[in-house]
Amino acid sequence: MKISVVGTGYVGLVSGVCFSELGNQVICVDKDQRKVDVLNKLQSPIYEPGLTELIEKNYREKRLEFTTDLSYGVKNSDIVIIAVGTPPLPNGEANLLYIEQVATEIATEMNDYKIIMTKSTVPVGTNHRIKEIVSNLTKFPFDVVSVPEFLREGSAVKDTLNPDRIVIGTESEAAMKILTDLHKPLTDNIIVTDIRSAEMIKYASNAFLATKISFINEIANICDKVGADVTKVAEGMGYDKRIGAAFLNAGIGYGGSCFPKDTNALVQIAGNANYDFKLLKSVIEVNQNQRFNIMEKLKASLTTLSGKTVAVWGLAFKPNTDDVRDAPAFEIISELVANGVKVKAFDPIAQENFRTQFNHPDIQWCESPLDAAKDSDAICLLTEWDVFKSINLFEVQNVMANPVLIDGRNVFSKEQISLTKFDYKSIGRPG
Ligand code: UGA
């Protein structure tokens, strides 16, 4: 198939590259000339394992192009994928400005029948709005289809090439057949439904996963009080197929560009339909408070924070990404600095991204986990990067002023810690 993808963020770029890997002819379009220049030098503007290799391979095999020319993309494709951002408005609602602009531009550049496939996460009813915009501006036939994306950052290529399911929301039999064939090499689990349900599946999935995380985080907080171990509790729960083991890792709460944005947007979508989504509001509140759980533990170990030096290990919202959007590290470091703490920060990949968004005279940027730990009174581990998991804890304790380790991701086992001198606290694993 001939495909163009508008928007080369995580979703657009990874989808475009993976469709070319499947043998399709793909044109990736972005209005940001800088991004397109980087891509044309066969580099990836985002850190995503395996992506650069696929960009190089498919570009050299002439199945993949990058351009700022939307007209060229639309005119030379049968399927136009919309994958532009839907950032939150101040009230939490998704901002559909970019979607509407792109729909308008696609409509004016059409030269034949097109399938307009939306991959951006959009509120229920948006694809009908796209249909309305396009039909007002073109005489050519087209179908609008919602195919929400479920990839995770850090494993985006793997998730896209091995999805659990593909959801196709459409009103058109012809588009359904074409898109089923397009996705068939990826999975047999293809769910065909109406457009509104497809839009809702995406929000409901993210909201449910966020609910699982806030649920286990509250169980962890109770475990701390009653002396139970949340990792064992989660393991014991997870074997029940109705519950499942995934997304039951307690920690400092979820961040990133999706869960915070999509949970707030779903609360708004419900509210606009006169429904008070109480459960999801609590999920959001629990997540917000969970970020400060680690501060309480740090205070308990250090007694006073003012004048202390604290190493922060991990700034990305999760490992294997350089993305720091809505990373818990922002609020935690702000709180540390506000309490008179000198912060020594280290992240193996996301440090530069974080530093450009948040710098402060009381933050020292470090070159390694050991460099950050040196002369510190405590370490707060915020992201479970492999480099932290495999570190020699004896070396770490020896360079610290005071061996306190607050593990916000339950990375280390009690056995590992018992051999060291660390005053160690984690989430929901007392003693
Ligand atoms: C999430 C969804 O998992 C994807 O299916 C979806 O496509 C994507 O949002 C999106 O809407 O685009 P992502 O935000 O990349 O993907 O990352 P996740 O792996 O889901 O992690 C989100 C946050 O939850 C991270 O901060 C992570 O540390 C946290 N988390 C995850 C936990 O605290 N505990 C867990 O057990 C799992």
Distance CA(30)–CA(386), nearest Å, equals 33
- In 3D space, the residue among 103, 66, 65 whose CA is nearest the CA of residue 81 turns out to be 103
Distance from residue 154's CA to the centre of ligand 1 (Å): 10
Give pLDDT, residue 240: 98
Give pLDDT, residue 92: 86
Domain 2-193: CATH superfamily is NAD(P)-binding Rossmann-like Domain (3.40.50.720)
Distance CA(398)–CA(99), nearest Å, equals 54
Q: Which atom in ligand 1 lies closest to the alpha carbon of residue 212?
A: 36
- Summarize pLDDT for 326-337 with one digit per residue, the tens: 999 999 999 999
Taking the domains of the chain in order of start, what are their residue ranges?
Answer: 2-193
- In 3D space, the residue among 396, 404, 394, 397 whose CA is nearest the CA of residue 424 turns out to be 404
243, 258, 283: residue to mutate for ligand 1 pocket, most atoms within 8 A of CB: 258
Strand partners, 27: 4, 65
Distance from residue 356's CA to the centre of ligand 1 (Å): 23
In this prediction, the residues of the chain whose per-residue pLDDT falls under 70 are none
Give pLDDT, residue 93: 87
Ligand 1 atom 9: residue of nearest CA: 258
Strand 404-407 relative to strand 309-313: parallel, antiparallel, unpaired? unpaired
- Summarize pLDDT for 56-97 with one digit per residue, the tens: 999 999 999 999 999 999 999 999 999 999 998 999 888 999
Strand partners, 69: none
Claim: this prediction has a pTM higher than 0.90: yes
- Summarize pLDDT for 360-372 with one digit per residue, the tens: 999 999 999 999 9
Catalytic residues, by residue number, are: 258
Give pLDDT, residue 315: 98
